[in-house]
Structure 1
Amino acid sequence: MSEGRFKSKEGEKVPSVTFQCREGESWVTKTTEEIFANKNVVVFSLPGAFTPTCSSTHLPRYNALAKKFAKHGIDDIVCMSVNDTFVMNAWSADQEAENVTVIPDGNGEFTDGMGMLVDKADLGFGKRSWRYSMLVKDGVVDKMFIEPDVPGDPFEVSDADTMLSYIAPDEVTNAPVAIITKPGCPFCTKAKALLTEKGFDYEELVLGKDATLTSLSAISGRETVPQIFIGGKHIGGSDDLEAYFS
């Protein structure tokens, strides 16, 4: 539990708010009652879509661990941010975060009701959310992980692994995996199949779409694909991956 400005809301009902959302070409409203009633929901809130920590770690890891959360009775994972619905939808699509429901708290009403609204005018952001996560059961906050009240944008306790460890202490998670591939590469197909067989979810970066030969060489020191990274460590190609698992 954090000290200082931010107080835990454990045991309290979440604020009652209606969100304006865009689905396709239509406006729809979503209420907190619809999102939380009779469900176990994990919520993580962050300062803004497309910002570095949010895009590189916070959202992707919750998306990657969604199956683990579902296995332990979590009905939905919600990402909340003080952004408009167009920005949230574009960010979700860019991140390919199909396992996370993004909710635009555009007016900051939910965030304010949680006591997590902060002034980031020094960055030109205006009012935004402090970073936190929580487990909500039938609309009542069961557990909160609030980042420490220190300068900057701390990211220590609201991560997906911390939340999963609280919900399922014995659950084993694999390190995050990224694989650089190119279309039609049989060795890439082989490596992806091996990762799947070993129970590893992965983020795929495709040459010509997500990466270039220059970036491949700069990141891995090699010019062949696939190139696999596990937990931030460069494993190498398809044969290297086989050796890693053996």
Structure 2
Amino acid sequence: MQKFQSREGQPVPDVTFRYRENGEWKETNTEQLFKGKTVAVFSLPGAFTPTCSSTHLPRFNELAETFRANGVDDIICLAVNDPFVMESWGKDQGCDNVFLLPDGNGCFTEQMGMLVDKTELNFGKRSWRYSMLVRDGIIEKMFIEEQGADDDPFEVSDADTLLHYLNKDAQAPDLVAMLSREGCPFCHKAKQLLDDAGIAYADIPLPDSIRNRALGAIAKAQTVPQLFVNGKLIGDSEAIAQWVAERKAA
């Protein structure tokens, strides 16, 4: 079984990367990515794969502002995938707060000692899952998944673990979602309130065919909008206005 060694206290590998952005070829290197910066890096087995797409990348993207508030300049997601795949995955995920860096030839990953053979999955060589904090090109801290019965564990390389290494008291942003209906003036007003207050939220427009059943089952309500924060029902447009006002006053 391959043994992974921490590289804490060592410089990141000196590598040049080619990537795609807005359909064009671009190039960067280790110095441009890390010199004079504090960078959160997480590496994963592959774009479009289940855990990477459902949890690993989205959570780093979600916590990006909190990372920045705690001194992180950039967040980099690295995978041994080609530039076209990484560009497409970024668009699919809508992860504007994370730079998806393709290590297509595995040069960076191999020098990190994190290149693994996944030929049994028809993946070829890929990266083991890990995260790290890099200050001015030097690796300060690494969280490397432990090998065991699971061939792709996901226990310590997550965004929250790295964030709490930076600041054990760091507060993650509220998770806000609103059930709405297209063309609803009350929904429009509620969205405007949230936008004006700079509150990020997920808008979930309900189709007419399921709206009443969904509202009843989820919010025990018959009208939209209905706002939820961290799984708790706030309520309709009046309740939303009150919640926003209280948040501003806090």
Are the equivalent residues in 1 in contact too, given 2:38–2:71 (CA < 8 A)? yes
Counterpart residue number, 1:116: 114
CA apart distance, 1:110: 0.9
Q: What is the aligned residue count? A: 240
1:80 is aligned to 78
Mark the CA change 1:219 to 1:6 in structure 2 (over 3 Å): closer, same or farther: farther
CA distance in 1, matches of 2:214, 2:47: 27
Instruction: Give the TM-score normalised by the residue count of structure 2.
Output: 0.80
Q: Does 182-191 or 123-132 show the bigger shift? A: 182-191
Deviations 1:24-59 (A, max 9, x none): 343221111110111100001111111122112211
CA RMSD of the aligned region, Å?
A: 3.3
Which residue number in structure 1 is paired with residue 160 of structure 2?
A: 161
Tell me which residue corresponds to 2:133: 135
CA shift in 2, pair 1:55/1:21, >3 Å: same
CA 1:239–1:49 in 2, change beyond 3 Å: closer, same or farther? same
> Is 2:199 aligned against 1:203?
no
Shift of the 195–121 alpha-carbon distance from structure 1 to 2, 3 Å rule, reads farther
Cα deviation 1:195-225 (Å, max 9, x = unaligned): 66888633344557xxx96699679836865
C-alpha distance in structure 1 between counterparts of 2:242 and 2:144, whole Å: 37
Gaps of 5+ in 2: none
- Deviation of the 1:184 alpha carbon: 3.3
CA distance in 2, matches of 1:156, 1:180: 32
Pairing 1:46-195 to 2, within 5 Å after superposition: 46-150=44-148, 151-189=150-188, 191-192=190-191
Distance 2:189 2:151 in 1: 43
Partner Cα distance (1:228, 1:54) in 2? 28
Separation in 1, partners of 2:23, 2:32? 21
Query: Is the Cα contact below 8 Å between 2:20 and 2:83 reproduced in 1?
Result: yes
- Give the aligned partner of residue 221 of structure 1: 217
Shift in Å, 1:71: 1.4
The separation in 2 between residues aligned to 1:130 and 1:91, in whole angstroms, is 19
Tell me, in whole angstroms, the C-alpha distance in 1 between the residues paired with 2:123 and 2:215.
32
Task: Tell me the TM-score normalized by structure 1.
Answer: 0.81
Q: Which moved more, 1:142-151 or 1:199-208?
A: 199-208
Q: In terms of Rg, which structure is larger?
A: 2
Instruction: Report if the CA contact (8 A) 2:227-2:240 is conserved.
Output: no
1:241 Cα deviation after fit: 6.6
Is the Cα–Cα contact under 8 Å of residues 12 and 138 in structure 2 kept in the other structure? yes
Q: 1:220-241, CA deviations, whole angstroms, 9 ceiling, x for partnerless residues?
A: 836865465555x473853697
* 3-state DSSP of counterpart to 2:54: helix
CA offsets per residue over residues 158-211 of structure 1, 9 Å max, x none? 111111111122222245444444443344345546666888633344557xxx
